[in-house]
Amino acid sequence: MPPISLNRRAILAFGGAFIFVLLLSGAVTNHVRPDLVQKHLPDSWRSTSQLPPPQQDPPPPPKKEGNPEQAWQEEIFPLAKAGKIPKINPKNVVNDVNFKTPLLIGFTRNWYLLEQAVVSYLAAGWPASQLIVIDNSGVMDSNLRGLLTPKNPWYLNHTRLTQLGVSIQRTPTLLSFAQLQNFFTNYAIEQDWGYYFWSHMDVVVLSDELLPNYKSVYDRAVEVLGNTLAERRHWGLKLFAYDWLTLVNVEAMKDVGGWDTQIPFYMTDCDLYERLAMKNWTQDPVSAGFIYDVGSHLKDLAVLYPEEGHETELNTTRFQNLKKELEAMMKEKQSNDGGRNYWQARQDGGQGEPFWRNPKGFERGINFWIDKGRELFRLKWNYGECDLIAKGYGIDDGWTDKKPIMPTP
Ligand SMILES: *[C@@H]1O[C@H](CO)[C@@H](O)[C@H](O)[C@H]1NC(C)=O
Ligand SMILES: *[C@@H]1O[C@H](CO)[C@@H](O)[C@H](O)[C@H]1NC(C)=O
Ligand SMILES: *[C@@H]1O[C@H](CO)[C@@H](O)[C@H](O)[C@H]1NC(C)=O
């Protein structure tokens, strides 16, 4: 999977571990950071259907015969191609927003998942002008110039994003997950933003049309932001369904020195979240609607929009079917039965195009650095799990001789 999704998986892993342990013994092991997870879970369960969080990824499963593979589809949003982007529900549009709501979505591989995530945010009311795709495909200006073909895993259609009104920033070269996160923060500093939202690219958001007082995902996110700014507390992060969508305080990121880029993927989130907590920056779970974690895409993204002429209707058959389908897609990804990665396997072309890399080699390379990152975390803290604070660590204890305080049996 693209580096961008690793952070989520680490969080899911300890979320999963937490529930498991609760069920078995009612105790909390050192795999979990109870303060974050405990506050975190109920919200996530509410806002992402009742599916249990998935287990951490094993290595990509061997390709089995008979996996439910999606047929290759070059175009998943024919209406956009025809220049006829559907109207969103006018109830999802929020006027008089007094503050900026920049949302950054990083992209490395899989245009189809990215386009799906972007379109879901737009349909849920996020203004296109506030949505910025960070092109971390590492192919320099090749996507901008349209030099890659859709079967190339690093293909990104700049023209389509521009057509949708979404802007694009490019990273100078391929960044790891931790580097990309620091890129987000630095970008926010350059833009003079005190905060920003970021989202994984392999999610789909859906406004909760079952609410008695309907509000779109965007409306609710704006509300969270407004409350957060009014609180004037020492807030660090607001987590919408784990960190599938996150509101980040730039001041907090500066205070802890940002992400540790020497831990490129897994564990780098534990490292950062623990360091934030060590300096008392809060990390509260919040909610804005349904957020699904998916590894596949809808056949036609038009289904994310209301039917023409019925834009203001809520809880329609379309909505109910869409919700069911997204739940099934999330479940499929979590089942790990090839679901998580099968799209990558389909998007396996582009050989000979600029900056092309062997996709399987790329995956293996990432896995290599994931392992090295875990090793480095252990070197840094003399300890390899996420619950640094519970083991007595403070902000100055990285790279010292300090050992974890283990409970005496
Ligand atoms: C990219 O998007 C544009 C605008 O929707 C569309 O005209 C074009 O066909 C797309 N390119 C490919 C290769 O699909
Ligand atoms: C949504 O529609 C379904 C089916 O028509 C109905 O059973 C359900 O009560 C509705 N929910 C709300 C909150 O309106
Ligand atoms: C964090 O809060 C605790 C408890 O209120 C306090 O003892 C500690 O000094 C604070 N740490 C920092 C870095 O502000």
The domain spanning residue 237 has which CATH number?
3.90.550
C-alpha closest to that of 287 among 41, 94, 51: 41
Q: Tell me if 2 is assigned to some domain.
A: no
Residue predicted with more confidence, 51 or 351:
351
* Mean of pLDDT over the chain: 85
Of 45 and 84, the structure prediction assigns the larger pLDDT to 84
Q: At what angle do helices 177-191 and 268-278 cross, to 10 degrees?
A: 50
Domain count, the chain: 1
DSSP state of 137: S
Look at residue 39 and tell me if it is in a domain: no
Looking at the domain assignment, is residue 30 inside a domain? no
31 in a structural domain: no
- Is the residue at 23 inside a domain? no
Reported as a pLDDT band with limits 50, 70 and 90, residue 183 is very high
Tell me, what's the pLDDT at 68?
53
Ligand nearest to the CA of 213: 2
- pLDDT for res 97: 87
Residue nearest to atom 9 of ligand 1 (CA): 81
Atom of ligand 1 nearest to the CA of 155: 13
CA atoms within 13 A on the CB side of 402: 16
Q: Is the pLDDT of residue 126 over 90?
A: yes
pLDDT computed for residue 330 by the predictor? 94
- Integer Cα distance of 325 and 347 in angstroms: 22
Q: Does 215 map to a domain?
A: yes
Cα(202)–Cα(293) distance, integer angstroms: 6
Whether the predicted pLDDT of 67 surpasses 90: no
45 vs 246 pLDDT, higher one: 246
Q: Using pLDDT thresholds of 50, 70 and 90, give the confidence band for residue 42.
A: very low
| Nearest residue (CA) to ligand 3, atom 11 | 279
Q: Is residue 9 part of a domain?
A: no
Q: What's the start-to-end Cα distance of the chain, in Å?
A: 40
**Nearest-CA residue for atom 3 of ligand 2:** 315
Residue 10, pLDDT above cutoff 60:
no
Q: Which atom of ligand 3 is nearest to the CA of 395?
A: 13
Atom of ligand 1 nearest to the CA of 150: 13
Q: What is the mean pLDDT of residues 45-71?
A: 41
Residue 331 to residue 53: CA distance in whole angstroms: 9
Domain span at residue 77?
44-391
Per residue in 367-381, pLDDT (tens digit) is 999 999 999 999 999
pLDDT > 70: percent of the chain: 80
Pocket of ligand 2 (CB under 6 A): 210, 315
Measured in Å, residue 275 CA sits from the centre of ligand 3 at 12
The model's pTM: 0.85
Domain-located, residue 18? no
Q: Are 64 and 347 in contact, with CB atoms under 8 Å apart?
A: no
CB 102 within 8 A of CB 140: no
